[in-house]
Amino acid sequence: MERKHIDVFIDALTRYFDHLDVSITGEKGTLEIGAPYLLRTNQTIGLDYSGVISVSGYSSGYIFVTAKSAMLKFILLGHGESDFGDRFKEDLVGEVANTIAGNARRQLGSDFHISTPRVLSGALDPSQYALSSRCYVLPFRWKNNRAELIVSI
């Protein structure tokens, strides 16, 4: 994966959270993106909830959005939800992963095929996925809540 591809995912992530900011507060720009880094061999991935998108066509691999429960609760609150149960958080993390992957697809073209999201809880075992040797982790914070976008294509 080249730097230009990382930029596509940073842009997709930024667009999602800028839109969310505007819908909640009328302003945007509260997303903080850390420096992308390569996933280390045997490094555990996954926070409380993860949305996983399989990618094929243009490239193959996976896109993960993994977040702490507190971030998902804050997003649900921003959408006017009052139920913060596991089912709602699982649906939300899948929706976030799908939206970010869809935003990236707009820039990468119609040959970038994405699956419907799978949702997992807790730490993930990277050995269960055929992760590329250049698997990037993009750490980010929104409203002081930590999450990661992991791209392995």
Report the run of H or E that residue 24 belongs to, with start and end: helix 3-25
pLDDT tens for 98-147 read 999 999 998 888 899 999 999 999 988 777 776 766 889 999 999 899 99
| Of 89 and 24, the one with more pLDDT | 89
Residue 1 banded pLDDT, cuts 50, 70, 90: low
Residue range 23-37: mean pLDDT, rounded:
85
Can you give the residue range of the structural domain that contains 71?
A: 3-152
Beta strands (DSSP E) in 76-123 are 112-114, 118-121
CATH number of residue 8's parent domain: 3.40.1550.10
Which are the contacts of 3, defined by CB distance < 8 A and separation ≥ 6? none
Q: Give the predicted TM-score (pTM) of the model.
A: 0.90
Q: Say how many domains are in the chain.
A: 1
